[in-house]
Amino acid sequence: MRIGILTSGGDCPGLNAAIRGVARAAYQTLDAEIIGIRAGYRGLIDGDYQIMERGQFSGILTLGGTILGTSRTPFRNMRVVEEDNVDKVYAMKMNYKAMKLDCLVALGGNGTHKTANLLSEEGLNVIGLPKTIDNDIFGTDFTFGFHTAVDIATDVIDRIHTTAASHSRCMVIEIMGNKAGWLTLYAGMAGGADVILLPEIPYDIERVAKVLDERAKLGKFFTIIAVAEGAISQEEAAMKKKEREAARTEREFYNVSQHIAAQLEQLTNVECRTVIPGHMQRGGSPCAYDRVLSTQFGVHAAKLIKDGQFGVTVALVGNQITQNRLADIAGVPKPVDPDSQIVKAARNISISFGD
Ligand code: F6P
């Protein structure tokens, strides 16, 4: 049984733990040979791969990043023949054959899953593993990498609290997550943020300013705002995507945190500062939760291979490891539900969503 593995999209804590889980379970339960494909789908297109030794999967449980390397090969261009004149889908199918693969395990986020589904529709045996700090893959309660990023972003908020309180400032912390607010919601709640701004709940800056004023009346002269990088105001929400982008490029600060801080300084008498932890949120060793989840996901992928069940991606549903059909989840968004229990819980402890 020849199993190809690749990691695609942004790197993420837990990728190596998941690779190790697939490999160890595959060696134990199947007569497996594992082919490591370099730098995501790019390696599959270019035929850049190596036959892995068992030892290469040792000592990587706690290692951040990915031993296979990764790249972003946008799904929207997969069927487009670009300047290099390469038919990418054809090349991937040919290399799959040349490697004599029985299946391909693709670890990645939304884009990775869309391409995994495309390859599955093209007749390849594909299994997905849901990784992303954004937690925005449909059909799984959690993706691996998410909890590590929550811990990192929470630590940032914890540390910022001291400066905010000592200087009586409003600190605006911009948290990753792409178009989804999961990471900001969880880190904001865990870090005791006073305001949480999410893409799913467009904010009104006047209301956010009111929070600062009301806190001051209560003798609380500092405010912590956790803002998702994809957060949008109510005016932006009413615009078309292109219009919104144009408006953003025209304003003084493109980044949402800086834009909000500048607006709040005008609307209140409070000094504001911004913090953008950026890629730190994706770096370093996975937390214990992610090590366990990644391992479980990897082991389940090996079981699916053994059972000959392809065209699926592994998922966590209600604390059970299971799988979904790629066709059912690829390209389906998973936003935070503004009416969910967790958002209601946050509102019940007076966290403002700026709406
Ligand atoms: O999808 C993970 C993520 O870190 C997002 O949260 C963020 O918007 C994006 O990737 C950043 O991508 P890049 O590393 O390509 O700048």
- pLDDT (tens digit, 9 = 90+) per residue, 132-151? 999 999 999 999 999 999 99
- Domain boundaries of the chain, sorted by first residue: 2-145+286-329, 147-282
Asked whether the domain spanning 147-282 has the same topology as the one spanning 2-145+286-329, the reply is: yes
Interval 97-106: pLDDT, tens = 999 999 999 9
Q: What is the pLDDT of residue 168?
A: 97
Q: Give ligand 1 pocket residues (Cβ under 6 A).
A: 10, 72, 109, 132-134, 176-178, 229, 282
Instruction: Give the per-residue pLDDT at 43.
Output: 98
Ligand 1 centroid – CA 134 distance (Å): 8
> Structure pTM?
0.97
- 3-class state of residue 5 by DSSP: strand
What pLDDT is attached to residue 335? 98
Give residue 345 CA to ligand 1 midpoint distance, Å.
28
- The set of catalytic residues is 134
Alpha carbon separation from 12 to 84, 162, 216, 278 (Å, rounded): 29, 29, 39, 13
Please name the CATH architecture into which domain 147-282 falls: 3-Layer(aba) Sandwich (3.40)
Distance 200 CA to ligand 1 centre (A): 18
Encoded amino acid at 307, one letter: D
In this prediction, the residues of the chain whose per-residue pLDDT falls under 50 are none
For the segment 29-63, what is each residue's pLDDT rounded down to a tens digit?
A: 998 999 999 999 999 999 999 999 999 999 999 99
**Cα–Cα nearest to 257, from 338, 192, 203:** 203
Which CATH class name applies to 2-145+286-329? alpha beta
For residues 255 and 201, what is the distance between their CA atoms, to the nearest angstrom?
A: 18
